[in-house]
Structure 1
């Protein structure tokens, strides 16, 4: 494991939100900001942890073309990991290259459109993890060849216990070879492998048990990943072997079998990354809500706020107050669809129209709630840029 360097050190939330407030003074809330200084510092730290291995940017964790381009312009970043075929075609059409759709698609119309576009087909790689996917792609009319990568299950299994996400049924070298051979026989170009270790990348280091699972999983995956890669290379000349996520970049990059790592959430530094031992990204993305009511002593109500992150339900999926030490959510109400009550001593200093700042639990999901991101540096508003939503794009 790499030595810990706390990127978040010396961060004072009150000072940060004061600067964000000054930069966006006069703009109506709700509004969302991205702190470019923190974004760039987080990008630098990802590159440090990747140890020279190229980082493919996960677009679902950014969902803003100008910020995708900002990351890709930095040394150490190369290629996009997309989540939708339509999104991939749109990104390629706007000038981005080497886009890997890291989830299987059954959008036959979008796939057919991709196959008709020679340039897009040369720049987009699709994901398969079964013979069903291969047969579906083989049945398409394909004026141009399609590139595919095989998603390999990277979870940990201890006896009958499955620790990790439920994704690919491909696990062993033999499983991967079966899919690779079928894809090649169907006229598909097998160019990549993917291993996403959610039980390492996506879990905060909250207990000794979690740390043990991560260490055991990393050791097990190291051996199995190398075997899968070697077996598939006997069938197809792979261009890339992708692995990891923001939370496991420093571990995945140590494996010589891996040619690139994936990361995106670490650029924004959402709250789910506050509890990791190996790194602490700076808070780069946040949103402000306006106080609209003072329903009683010690209470205020802000507009909106019900921006709940995906994943297992729990309080850690709710937005977290930032820069307001003496405020908290009301447990009986949580974060509401059109208003969110808050309580605490800090409510006494807040007036109707004042702002309250929050951080989202995850990264790119915040962009599904806002049409624009206000890019700030210190107390300066640098630029306002559209999110995917602001460009009228919704990829599910």
Structure 2
């Protein structure tokens, strides 16, 4: 893991500052979080960054980047939400520029959007076909702002490299949907391209890096053509969104792009440890307590089965990082109620001692906990609620 000494010093500070707390709990090192935010801005090279809320799921942390009212400050601008109910909740709390990262078929939330001019002005829906337009219209409005989600994967013959999202790919397809939307009264204000095969793929080999370069080159050409085609129908676009934490430099270099998206880069979970473009500074950790000693070389911890989404495998499980020298048991892993660890450091663990972990993906840890403890450089602790802690669960 990069910068072990730095991580150890951060964890020593977090451990001392949170000593009165009983695990399990999560803590965020504010100096690391702020350094990560500054590094995201550096990597974006002046292109505004929209914060992906799914990778944060805590309004106080969103406010660290966007300001207290979530309207944006510095180089950060706006929120990319993952749920329309979430977007509405954020706007009710002050946000005024929320882009949906995904389509929605939530009829009740769409009806609420349709009935409120503030929501219609503040939220941009994501669509990739006429089915989505039909659902929005059926909820009571065709005045909604919409953004087209365009497939950003790399195609090499029959090979598809990237995520399976939008059926829209070509300039003609995007222009056709734009015309249908405009004719029905929708305001087409943007297009989005999420190049998961660049942003979400670690630089694990020369072959991977080659594919990422090829994908960036192909997308740069196609993205410009799509933007031109949509603009010819809808007029100038307010949003040309692209990228993610792992591809800010690549996405922001395209002159067609007006904004990039990042969220995971604030916390830096383990999935972002093997990127060449930036130096990870882990900022979020969680602590578990040892509750039994089944053998001299095994300590069993309470809770901890915080498995991340995505393809099942070792990359999706949490990693014990402090004290150093611990590992999960192959046949048990991280458990729903108990997580055994072994290794040389396990021999020194006593019942009641703590073990600190890193999660594999960013915001998903907040779905497990009602609050997060923010620790500053002087050791003071501010406890803030997660979405869960505010009584919100958006799926």
Same fold (TM over 0.5): yes
Which residue does 2:30 correspond to in 1?
Answer: 36
Change (3 A) 1:57 1:88: same
Which residue does 1:3 correspond to in 2?
Answer: none
Q: CA deviation at 1:325?
A: 2.2
Q: How high is the TM-score relative to the length of structure 2?
A: 0.96
Matches within 5 A, 1:316-395: 316-378=315-377, 380-395=379-394
Matches within 5 A, 1:133-172: 133-142=132-141, 145-172=143-170
Answer yes or no: is the 8 Å Cα contact 1:205–1:276 preserved in 2. Answer: yes
2:20 is the counterpart of 1:26? yes
Which residue does 1:227 correspond to in 2?
Answer: 225
Which of 200, 203, 206 pairs up with 1:202? 200
Structure 2 CA distance, aligned partners of 1:254 and 1:290?
46
Answer yes or no: is the 8 Å Cα contact 1:134–1:182 preserved in 2. Answer: no
Provide the aligned length of Structure 1 versus Structure 2.
Answer: 389
Which residue does 1:248 correspond to in 2?
Answer: 247
Which of 11, 36, 39 pairs up with 1:17? 11
Which residue does 2:70 correspond to in 1?
Answer: none
Q: CA deviation at 1:138?
A: 2.4
Answer yes or no: is the 8 Å Cα contact 1:22–1:379 preserved in 2. Answer: no
Structure 2 CA distance, aligned partners of 1:56 and 1:15?
31
Which residue does 2:238 correspond to in 1?
Answer: 239
Structure 2 CA distance, aligned partners of 1:18 and 1:321?
14
SS in 1 for 2:322: coil
Which of 47, 62, 75 pairs up with 1:68? 62
Q: CA deviation at 1:14?
A: 2.5
Answer yes or no: is the 8 Å Cα contact 1:288–1:356 preserved in 2. Answer: yes
Q: CA deviation at 1:198?
A: 0.3
Change (3 A) 1:302 1:284: same
Which residue does 2:263 correspond to in 1?
Answer: 264
Structure 2 CA distance, aligned partners of 1:315 and 1:61?
20
Structure 2 CA distance, aligned partners of 1:208 and 1:174?
34
Q: CA deviation at 1:379?
A: 5.4
Q: CA deviation at 1:10?
A: 7.2
Q: CA deviation at 1:236?
A: 1.0
Structure 2 CA distance, aligned partners of 1:210 and 1:204?
8
Moved more, 346-355 or 56-65: 346-355
2:86 is the counterpart of 1:87? yes
Long gaps (5+) in structure 2: 68-72
Structure 2 CA distance, aligned partners of 1:372 and 1:10?
27
Which of 174, 177, 192 pairs up with 1:179? 177
Structure 1 CA distance, aligned partners of 2:156 and 2:373?
46
Q: CA deviation at 1:53?
A: 0.2
Which residue does 2:212 correspond to in 1?
Answer: 214
Q: How high is the TM-score relative to the length of structure 1?
A: 0.96
SS in 2 for 1:235: helix
Which of 180, 185, 190 pairs up with 2:188? 190
Which residue does 1:132 correspond to in 2?
Answer: 131
Q: CA deviation at 1:174?
A: 0.6
Tell me which stretches of 4 or more aligned residues in structure 1 moved more than 6 Å.
Answer: none
Kindly provide the CA deviation profile for residues 312-342 of structure 1, in whole angstroms up to 9, marking residues without a partner as x.
1110100011123221100011110001011
Structure 1 CA distance, aligned partners of 2:202 and 2:10?
24
Answer yes or no: is the 8 Å Cα contact 2:18–2:381 preserved in 1. Answer: no
Q: CA deviation at 1:11?
A: 4.2
Which of 40, 47, 65 pairs up with 2:41? 47
Moved more, 144-153 or 21-30: 144-153
Structure 1 CA distance, aligned partners of 2:170 and 2:51?
27
SS in 2 for 1:347: helix
Structure 2 CA distance, aligned partners of 1:182 and 1:281?
44
Structure 1 CA distance, aligned partners of 2:380 and 2:303?
23
RMSD between aligned residues: 1.3
SS in 1 for 2:10: helix
